[in-house]
Amino acid sequence: MVCRPLLAVSVRDLEDFGVKIYVGNLPYSTTADELRTMFSEHGEVSDVHVPMDRDSGRPRGFAFVEMQDDSQAQTAMDALNGTELGGRTMTVNKARERTERPRGGGGGRRW
């Protein structure tokens, strides 16, 4: 077996990933394009992800917007947090890292 060294990643490389922003309390009708337009007024948007419910197929009421520049992301968060979209007051803040959750055992009968 040949062991190969791990690739070194510099802080500069990590900066290329951008800033991920959590957008909550969204109307279920909200689209990725609508969010991209809204956030692009405050800077360059590199990605928008609107998670969908597996059962209903509709958006789950929150999204993640990724912006390249930290200062533009902060400007967008300051400007959009607490504003209204479709009759709902949005929560906009920096996304937290996802924590590992235990997987369910599943299967079998329940008594």
Q: How do the domains of the chain map onto residue ranges?
A: 16-94
In contact, 91 and 23? CB cutoff 8 Å:
yes
**Do 28 and 50 contact (CB within 8 A), yes or no?**
no
The string of pLDDT tens digits covering residues 18-32 is: 899 999 999 999 999
The single-letter code of the amino acid at 16 is: D
Predicted structure pTM score? 0.75
The radius of gyration of the chain from alpha carbons, rounded to an integer in Å, stands at 18
Residue 101 binned pLDDT confidence (cut-offs 50, 70, 90): confident
Closest by CA position to 52, among listed 37, 72, 36, 30: 30
CATH 1.10.490.10 fits 16-94, yes or no: no
Angle 103-105-60 from CA coordinates, rounded to 5°: 50
pLDDT in tens, 41-96: 999 999 999 999 999 998 999 999 999 999 999 999 999 999 999 999 999 999 99
